[in-house]
Structure 1
Amino acid sequence: MKYERSKFRKLIEALTPQELNESLDDFPAVRNQFTDGQEKYLRNRIILDYFEKHQEEIDKLLEAIKQCNLTAYNKYASELNSSENSEEKLVPSDKTNSKSNQTPNVPEDKNCDILVLAANPIETDRLELEEEANRIRLRLQEGEVGKDYIVKVERAVQVEDLSKYLLQYKPLILHFSGHGSPSGEIILTNSQGQAQPLSPEALAELLAVLQGRIECVLLNACFSLEKADALADKVSCVVGMSKEIGDQSAVTFAAGFYRGLGFGRGYHTAFELGRNEIKLLNLPDSAVPHFITRDTSLLQREMVKPRVTRTVSTQSTEPTLYPLWFGTNRKPKNLQDISQGFSGERDRQLHYGTCQVAVPKSHKIGSTGSPLLQRLLTLTDDRLKLKKDSLKLFEENNFWENIQRTLQENQPDERSALVFIHGFNVSFEDAALRAAQIGVDLQVPGIMAFYSWPSRGKLASYPADEATIEASEKYIAEFLLNLAQKSGIEKIHIIAHSMGNRGLLRAMQRILAQVQGKSEISFGQIFLAAPDVDPDIFEELAQAYQNLAERTTLYISAKDKALATSGIIHDHPRVGFFPPITVVDGIDTVEVSNIDLTLLGHGYFADARDLLQDMHHLLINNTSPEKRFGLRKKQENGQTFWIIGQ
């Protein structure tokens, strides 16, 4: 039977845990990756990833599902047949469509600069491997050199796949992330997800056979220094661990190391920065990482640069055009010339469209552009700019087809969307710039979208904006519901800021009234940033988030001057400001006052690196607060919440 991931996912989600377990009786390679207390969405992801790679086994699984839940099976088969019939109607009868006349697909160049190979076998302690990969990417992006690095991450790496990855990616830096044995072996996995050791000698022999371009091997695993000398004969330098190293120290070391590379420093300097970062955070193990090289010139060499040949020269000063999809109930300034943009006036209909934002090479994480004085002093214009001639409006059906075509070009795990809903005093253009900045900085695995309600974009228009966001609730609900049901997106994440939270809260209530909860909707992470919402109303209606989303995170601050002012205006505190702290069942409250905030302390959700990192981690892993890097648990007046930052 034909395989379609989105339909297959719906089938898996329709099964009860017992039906799922019974269906997988003949698939120990999948069952062995399950752990006690593991959330269902994680098990579903394991299943989807396995059968994505082993599609020849799907018919066997479907037969088992058929025995457990005939209704779900028939629905899946019916949807597949319907899809196949519609595709047949689109196939032209022209003989030139025969396979003999088709141009073969030529795989694109998959070379990378840094290849991260991660493994956490089922019988070993859980490690923060995703956090490590995320930190590597984010730290590289801090420096101009690092922006040009191409990073590839392979998870649950099996020993037998090692040569394939090295041949496929031809990396400059090979990074192992996971466990090590006291005898110096790197612990990878076998086909059952269980531990399988790899000796450094065998790896060294493989590198010698392939004669690749690897310069540095980083073994971020306990005891990996034991036999690292064997590798030092084959590559310029090796980093290994002399004994057991704590998970947090290992992640911190990697972050410091790749920050150094991101700013163009040499391997040895990057190594010292990694060790120093462990010390700066008062963590143990700063003496555990060791640097080995036979090339003493590496101890002084600087400016390590990425070497992958790209289609576009890395020296190009042209900005990158970042695509966005949007919905709005603003009135166009000129419907005959949409490039003029949208006004702050309300429209009585929902508009769907796309646009592009130019992101300069000098873009800094957390910024849409430096102040004028700084640009004059540095002679650098790092502002993001909306390409007004890229603005396009679509008929609704064409809009969904546009998204579907885009998703088909993405990898199976990149068919999600992040939707940004802005707050008070934001124009359409400002919303687009902020959405692009968030999408770029979070490295959104899918498409980036935003909903722009008709804020007047003026500080004095706070009362008008309050009325407008209330009138926009139904349009926000319509956009989100249609996006979930008509676009083919597998998971929709949402960030709402400030007054935008009022619209989202009521919109979720409307959506909940129309669907049967999570079984019919595909909301993933919902981020409520600095909500300008009455806490009594929030507590009354917030159950909708728990009913519709995988996880909801509320970010609050005691230093948010904008919300402090709103509290004075309304003579009542706001959800995003404390005291008092708002804690609601099913929502993770995270207090952010300790991080580096802006002057008003209100736009931290997009400005602060710690927050961006936390959101990125949630988008990738959906990890609970107690397992997220950098969060500390706090209990106060019988309430439990979390603190981010030192």
Structure 2
Amino acid sequence: MERPFDIWQALYQPWNIIKLLTDKERDGEHFRIRSITPLGERQFVEALRTRTESDSILLFVHGYYTSFERAVFKAAQMAYDANFKGHVLVFSWPSADALADYDYDEVAADTSKNDLLKVFQLLKEVSGKKLYIVAHSLGNKVVLDTLELAAAKNADLNISELVMAAPDVDYIRYGDATKAIKALAHNMTMYASSADWALTVSSIKARAIRAGYIDSGKQPNLYSGVDTIDVTAVGDDMLKINHDTSSKSRMVLEDIGHLISSRNHQLPDERITTLKSLVGKEAMKYWYYPR
């Protein structure tokens, strides 16, 4: 069955806001970009004001080593799996899309917050819609930096869920940021792993633990107000595009689907009954996928 998506792409370059339409799934191709139509700011806002069945917005911010096309496909996968009926946005900061160019991507992520802030300012003009944000890897740095700026400006973004997959952010910096943005994002979920090779390399390179990285045999980093889920059992790519519904790599996508489609926030084991829980530091609870 064909399920078209309206995917709105806010590129890193200022004011270049793109509408993408993806075709139905095809064997061996999954999702395809059919067309790209540049939109001005006013056109972008008016398009988001159009009513949809769920009257909500999903914003995906990709991570390190991710091309424009792959970011769009990941967002389409999430929307498809969740049967998401709202508007789907992708903020594409300029990743070099090269395994060896982490340093380039890190600088690009660090310098993209003002452009994402502009997108948030435009979203403020679209009142009455719930906003769901999903960030991956280095994209979490972009989102957290931007939301801190927005919080300082007392912005009202009506964020229903902030989902942070494998946050490639210093673990101390992450804690400070999540405290600062609680007024904007009441419901926060973090997926952490010891199997994520990119976080492993990033932690070694920075000589500091990343928030989403778990040392083998240890507990994940835990933060007040953030539901933390250990997804080590899922594998080394928690947002892998994979149409094999029995694959472990789809577990996180399925949980994200629950988060962006539920009317009210639920705890992880209320969404996914197979999740187990433990009590970590400072009596904080966290969840994990059993092996």
TM-score (structure 1 length as normaliser): 0.41
Q: C-alpha displacement at 1:445, in angstroms?
A: 3.0
Contact 1:605-1:611 within 8 A present in 2 as well:
no
| Match runs of 1:221-370 below 5 Å | 320-329=3-12, 347=13, 349-361=14-26
Q: Rate the CA distance shift 1:560–1:441 in 2: closer, same or farther, 3 A.
A: same
Picking from 372, 391, 394, the partner of 2:36 is 391
Per the TM alignment, residue 438 of structure 1 is displaced from its structure 2 partner at its CA by 1.6
* Residue pair 1:562, 1:602 contacting (<8 A) in 2 also: no
CA contact (8 A) 2:222 2:280 kept: no
- CA change 1:587–1:637 in 2 (3 A) is closer
The 1-side partners of 2:280 and 2:39 are apart by 50
Q: Which amino acid aligns with 1:623?
A: Q
2:259 equivalent in structure 1:
618
Mapped partners of 1:645, 1:482: distance in 2 = 41
Deviation at 1:602, TM superposition (A): 3.0
Q: Distance in 1 between matches of 2:70 and 2:268?
A: 31
How big is the shift at 1:557?
Answer: 0.8
RMSD: 2.0
SS of 2:183's equivalent in the other structure is helix
The unaligned stretches of length 5 or more in structure 2 are: 243-248
Corresponding residue for 2:120? 480
Asked whether the 8 Å contact 2:134–2:165 carries over to 1, the reply is: yes
Segments of 5+ residues of structure 1 without an aligned counterpart are 1-147, 149-318, 330-346, 362-379
Aligned partners of 2:137 and 2:187: how far apart in 1? Answer: 19
Alpha-carbon offset, residue 359 of structure 1: 2.8
Q: Are 2:154 and 1:515 aligned? A: yes
- Please state how far the C-alpha of 1:350 moved relative to its aligned partner: 3.1
Asked if 1:573 is matched to 2:209, the reply is yes
1:568–1:469 distance in 2 versus 1, CA, 3 Å: same
Q: Distance in 2 between matches of 1:451 and 1:527?
A: 15
Question: CA 1:562–1:543 in 2, change beyond 3 Å: closer, same or farther?
Answer: same
Does residue 423 of the first structure (1) align with residue 68 of the second (2)?
Answer: no
Letter in 2 for 1:356: L
Residue 133 of structure 2 aligns with which residue?
494
**Equivalences for 1:86-125 in 2 at 5 Å?**
none
Tell me the distance in 2 between the aligned counterparts of 1:637 and 1:643: 15
How far 1:430 sits from its partner (Å)? 1.8
| Aligned-residue offset at 1:545 | 3.6
Q: CA deviation at 1:626?
A: 4.9
Q: CA deviation at 1:537?
A: 0.8
CA drift of 1:624 comes to 2.2
Per-residue Cα deviation, 1:534-563 (whole angstroms, up to 9, x for no partner): 101111111134221231000001111121
Shift of 1:324: 0.4
| SS, match of residue 450 in structure 1 | strand
- What's the CA shift for 1:612? 2.3
Higher relative contact order (CA 8 A, sep 6+): 2
8 Å CA contact 2:60, 2:75 repeated in 1: yes
- SS in structure 1 at match of 2:233: coil
Partners of 1:625 and 1:481 lie apart in 2 by 31
The residue aligned with 1:559 is 195
**What is the CA distance between 1:606 and its match in structure 2?**
5.7
Specify which structure has the higher proportion of helix. 1
Tell me if 1:505 matches 2:148.
no
Partner residue of 2:274 out of 603, 614, 630: 630
Residues 563-621 of structure 1 deviation map (CA, whole Å, 9 limit, x = unaligned): 111111111121111126211111111111123x2xxx034476533222222222213
Pair 1:573–1:546, CA change in 2 (3 A)? same
- Aligned AA (2:144): L
Pairs within 5 Å for 1:395-474 = 395-405=40-50, 407=51, 410-411=52-53, 414-474=54-114
Equivalent residue of 1:454, what SS? coil
Q: Offset of 1:497 from its aligned partner?
A: 0.2
Amino acid across the alignment from 2:196: D
Question: Relative to structure 1, is the Cα distance of residues 557 and 605 closer, same or farther in structure 2, using a 3 angstrom cutoff?
Answer: farther
Larger radius of gyration: 1
> TM-score under structure 2 normalisation?
0.88
The one-letter code matched in structure 2 to 1:391 is I
In the TM superposition, what whole-angstrom CA distance separates every residue of 1:489-531 from its partner, at most 9, and x where no partner exists? Answer: 5100000000000100100101101126xxx331111110011
